[in-house]
Structure 1
């Protein structure tokens, strides 16, 4: 994977996490602007999925392909699940679910970097 893609994802996810944490502290549901920011995070994750699959197909690294692609797909699905849950639950709990989804994306990203380094 590339450092710039990882850094971009972590910065955008951190910004989204801060926004959602503020909403959670204020006991407010997520707003349209929040979902736009989460959409940006999801686009970066989608770019990472495409780039990761292409990089995996052209590498000679000792990377478990199934594990790597599974993490890429899981990373892509984590945020939409949290968003749909948050839209169904328009309370503080729904906002908390968004924060957990963002933290899940960050954790999966860090694990992807470890897997790409050859540590399964």
Structure 2
């Protein structure tokens, strides 16, 4: 795993999470700019998948392949699931759901990085 990319991805996700929580504090439902931010994070997550596949094909291996792949797939699913939930009821609380989904991404990235390095496998 490329640590610098993982850190940048986590920071971007935390920035969108902060934006979401600020919008929730302002009592705003999810708006198009926030959804575009979520889509950008999802694209960055897809790039992470491509990076991981290239490294795996190149012969590098995580400490536990199954655990790594579970976190990788989970990181791809958390934002679409959170977005679907938030769009089902566009309210202040749905904006908080998007913030929580964005905070979940860095946690998953951290765990993927730890498993890649062999820790916690």
Range into which the TM-score falls when normalised by the shorter chain = over 0.9
CA deviation digits over 1:60-92, x for unaligned, max 9?
A: 545211111111010000000001111111112
Q: Is the 8 A contact 1:56 1:65 kept in 2?
A: no
Alignment of 1:21-100 (within 5 A): 21-61=21-61, 63-100=63-100
TM-score normalized by the length of structure 2: 0.92
Runs of 4+ in 1 over 4 A off after TM superposition: none
In structure 1, what is the Cα distance between the partners aligned to 2:36 and 2:62? 37
TM-score normalized by the length of structure 1: 0.92
Structure 1: runs of 5 or more not aligned:
none
Residue 101 of structure 2 aligns with which residue? 101
Count of residues paired in the alignment: 120
In structure 2, what is the Cα distance between the partners aligned to 1:10 and 1:81? 18
Give the RMSD, CA atoms, in angstroms: 1.3
